[in-house]
Amino acid sequence: METVSEACEKTDWQIHAWCLMRNHFHLVTETPRANLVDGMQWLLGVYTNRFNHRQKEFDHLFSGRYKALIVDGSGNGYLKAVCDYVHLNPVRAGLVGTEQSLQTYPWSSYPLYLQEPAGRPAWLRVDRLLGEWGIPKDSPAGREQFAGRMEARRRAEDSGGYEPEGWCLGSEEFRQ
């Protein structure tokens, strides 16, 4: 997370959601300076070097190029769909048991959404996702409402979930 923090400082990225899985990660990133390629090159290179140095390894950590999906973040539900997909990824992968709360998975931004703002990294932007859920304020009541809705979404997803497809997620007008 320190490396992600440094990447955000260098690039002015705003992170809306993230999740580290066993063999990949998800990062919902807003790039005000249109610098995704340079930022990802720095992030993946530096993280790999640091990991290999710490573990005394010399291999690649991630195979192939990262997958980037352009998402319409104008408040019409597309950002929410992608962030929810990211936050529910540990459930789909079986890393969170049916009796466990979603917030028990520590390698995700979801538990940070439930903390006071002072307990979150400055680069994690929660207001947009909360707003798309219809939660007007980042308050204890708002965070409790968000947790309840995500747990309900998690239970509903047991029958099959949303899977982002293509290169762009948004309305036809946005795609054009």
Question: Taking the domains of the chain in order of start, what are their residue ranges?
Answer: 2-55+64-157
pLDDT of residue 155: 84
* Token duo for residue 82: 């992608």
Distance CA 35, CA 104 (A): 33
**pTM recorded for the entire structure:** 0.86
Backbone angles phi, psi at 19, to 5 degrees: -160, 125
pLDDT of residue 60: 79
pLDDT in tens, the chain (176 residues): 999 999 999 999 999 999 999 888 999 999 999 999 999 999 999 998 998 999 998 887 776 678 888 888 888 889 999 999 999 999 999 999 888 999 999 999 999 999 999 999 999 999 999 999 999 999 999 999 999 999 999 888 654 555 566 665 677 777 66
Domain covering 2-55+64-157, topology: Alpha-Beta Plaits (3.30.70)
Would you call 88 exposed, middle or buried from its count of C-beta atoms within 10 A (0-12, 13-18, 19+)? buried
pLDDT of residue 159: 46
Question: How many CB atoms sit inside 10 A of residue 94's CB?
Answer: 8
